[in-house]
Structure 1
């Protein structure tokens, strides 16, 4: 079926091509009448062009492929050039040639557009040069009057179409990025709704079970060989409560107090918290900061964000590695980059990063990174990952800079 990116509905497409086929057929009838109802060779060629174009346009919705698109572009281009050579004294024929590159624009196909544009310029300029070399003033009235003017106007038209194509292409890319952002928002919203629906229902019975285990842990009448399993049960219940807390943080955003946060001391605080954790594998964390930057956010969420990201970097690193945190500015944003030389990720893993319940850790839930995405989005920031397997990972987080007096 026809792709919705071209036309809003198949009915509208059929209506448009029906009108186009009727117009081309009407042109055949008019030419047949002008020729004194004589079936000439040129009329036969024109009929074949119209028939091929009509056939391709009719089958296009069900047989959409690059070959069909290229065939439509080729036959319509050939038809327009044929009409120009068949009726050289009519300005409309030259006008149709100028707008041949519009055909692949409708297909949103970049390579096909550039091939058509270059071919159109080459063939048309060659025809104009040929007309300049030979005296054809009696049959090519419009072209002969001003060869240079026709050539300049034609090239100007092609440049205009190139500009419109590049502009249209940029708009399409912006739309794709917007669509990706909408999908991310929907993913977070769906996860939040799920969290709100189940987290409280699970937390209550876990709290009761945990309380009874702690109560019986001090019961001297229970044999020690049974009590030794209590700690394991409590640890597992604590892990379950941690997951539930992560779920709750992804639920419908709760209003948090925002403040002006100084990036430098806040990152130093996070590093102080994690240095001991990193030192177990003699992993070093280095901070490089150009200047003092201030952002508007909640200080606890800011620290939670970078605790999660740095903890991931530490766990992915090898013994003796160094993790670098670079803080720079670009226009009105502060850019915080975390670079590790750990195990890295392949393309498939990188695409799934931040997806609920997807984690490269044995006991990971994938909710930690979702929380990171949630926090960054909440304060109009961005977060991007670059990674290569066996080389390492680079995480870039940006926030708008708050400019304060003094």
Structure 2
């Protein structure tokens, strides 16, 4: 179904590009007062039509930010060319006002701000030319009410920015909703699987481990035999650890003690515990946390969450790299970021995080991150991974701010 939808969108895009190209060609060949000669302006018009048409048809093959910026630049030059070469066409000025609107169609915020600033610069130069340098009557309709035209241009820019802002916010909310929905489905599937596995495997493992420990104390076994028994016991402990992680996901403790967690103190504790681990990997952990940050959670689970995230960051970092932990308050949220400069992940790998048994480690189970997702969801937070191959990873965790933290601080001050 998704493939069919993508095909429809692609067909619609090519149809739009084809119609746009036909209209531009008609503008060049038919009813054009400059056609049929060697006028430099007409030649420039033809070149821009060719470049813009080619860019529109080539874009789906690449789709990069640079290519989108190239299309917007060529389109802007094309519309300004129409304005200056054909001043009698009054609607050309209207098109100049709506140049940033084209970038909204690409859903690229950087592209919108680029076109917004670029168009503002070009329109400023245009008005300077018309007011101070134009000696003819080609732009009389602009000169008759310069202030009104400038005011209308500014008004359209405000409207376009408002539309862009609302559209961008709505897309972000939809994206967060679908991410939560996907994660909820992953947790549900893993929980069902974990309950079944735990019920069937835990008791046999306990029996086998007990017998092996009994035989380990038997002096009739050789030294080599005992070493084999010790190895088997250690492997069983590993299996029990994985099983415990399953149970943490399948049957989370809903009645755990909730408290107001001082984020700074908790993260300092995590950093202290992992400092030697970081030094072992020849990495340093840099803690940058604002004061007076509080959330409502279970302290043990909060530390477990960031022990997992920071430990992962250290393991993927190269020697001498810093792992940075930042925490701040913004819009009634506590935002905590764990930043590493490791090998990073592709978009497909990021999307797969949290899937049962998916891990980028050779001996990983993927359950550690599942527990992280579970803890964050339990306390009505969000977790997001931003990563690029060979550029590191930033994990952003957001929790609702606890308003009781300030009250606790005041009570401590009174004491």
Q: TM-score range by the shorter chain?
A: 0.5 to 0.7
Matched, 1:39 2:24: no
- Shift of residue 142, structure 1, vs aligned partner: 2.1
Shift in CA distance, 77/61, structure 1 to aligned 2, threshold 3 Å:
same
Partner of 1:80: 79
2:335 maps to 1:374: no
- Residue deviations 1:249-306 (CA, integer Å, cap 9, x gap): 223x567346765669xx99xx9xx99xx9xxxxxxxxxxx99x894x7x7xx64554
Unaligned runs of 5+ in 2: 277-290, 315-326, 386-394, 405-415
**For each residue in 1:213-255, what CA deviation from the matched residue of structure 2 results, as whole angstroms up to 9, or x when unmatched?**
467679x8x726589666665554344223212222223x567
What's 1:127 paired with? 126
CA-based RMSD of the aligned residues comes to 5.6
Matched, 1:223 2:223: no
Cα deviation, residue 309, structure 1: 5.6
Q: Is 1:310–1:338's contact at 8 Å kept on the other side of the alignment?
A: no
Residue 382 of structure 1 contacts residue 399 of structure 1 at CA under 8 Å; is this kept in 2? no
Looking at structure 2, the residues matched to 245 and 306 of structure 1 have their Cα atoms a distance apart, in angstroms, of 17
Partner of 2:57: 58
Report the equivalent of 1:23: 23
Asked if the contact 2:295/2:399 (under 8 Å) is kept, the reply is no
The answer to whether the Cα contact below 8 Å between 1:104 and 1:116 also exists between their aligned partners in 2 is yes
CA distance in 1, matches of 2:59, 2:304: 54
Counterparts in 2 of 1:145 and 1:313: CA distance versus 1, 3 Å: closer
Listed as ranges, the matches of 1:8-19 within 5 Å are: 9-19=9-19
Task: Measure, in 2, the Cα distance between the counterparts of 1:359 and 1:10.
Answer: 34
Q: Distance in 2 between matches of 1:201 and 1:171?
A: 46
How far did 1:13 drift? 0.7
Separation in structure 2 between the aligned mates of residue 254 and residue 196 of structure 1, nearest angstrom: 11
Alignment-derived partner of residue 322 in structure 1: none
Deviation at 1:95, TM superposition (A): 0.5
| SS of corresponding position for 1:90 | coil
TM-score, structure 2 normalization: 0.60
Q: When you count helix as a share of all residues, which structure comes out higher?
A: 2
Partner of 1:99: 98
**1:84–1:41 CA distance, 2 compared to 1 (3 A):** farther
What do the CA deviations read for 1:159-206 (whole angstroms, capped 9, x no partner)?
443454455455555555556655655654564455345444433432
Contact 1:213 1:234 in 2 (8 A): yes
Paired residue for 1:389? none
Q: CA deviation at 1:146?
A: 0.4
SS at match of 1:256: coil
Judging changes above 3 Å, is the alpha-carbon distance between structure 1 residues 60 and 132 closer, same or farther for their aligned structure 2 residues?
same
Question: How many angstroms apart in 2 are the aligned matches of 1:181 and 1:190?
Answer: 14
Equivalent pairs counted in the alignment come to 356
Contact 2:29 2:35 survives alignment (8 Å): no
Conserved 8 A contact 1:98-1:158: yes
> Matched residues in 2 for 1:254 and 1:177: separation?
24
Instruction: Trace 1:196-275 onto structure 2 (pairs within 5 A).
Output: 196=195, 198-213=197-212, 223=220, 225=222, 233-234=232-233, 236-251=235-250, 253=251, 256-257=254-255, 261=259
User: What's the offset of the Cα at 1:11?
Assistant: 0.7
Contact kept in structure 1, 2:333 and 2:398, CA below 8 Å: no
**Cα distance per residue 1:360-400 (max 9 Å; x no partner):** 9x998664564344133223145799xxxxxxxx9988466
Larger Rg: 1
- Residue 97 of structure 1: how far off its partner (Å): 1.4
Moved more, 255-264 or 206-215: 255-264
Deviations along 1:304-337, one digit per CA (max 9) or x if unpaired, are 55467679999x9xxxxxxxxxx999887789x9
In structure 1, the gaps of 5 or more residues are: 279-289, 317-326, 386-393
String of CA shifts for 1:339-375, please: whole Å, max 9, x gaps: 9xxxx96544899998668699x99866456434413
C-alpha spacing 1:126/1:101, structure 2 compared with 1 (3 Å):
same
Query: TM-score w.r.t. structure 1 length?
Result: 0.61
SS at match of 1:31: coil
CA distance in 2, matches of 1:313, 1:197: 31
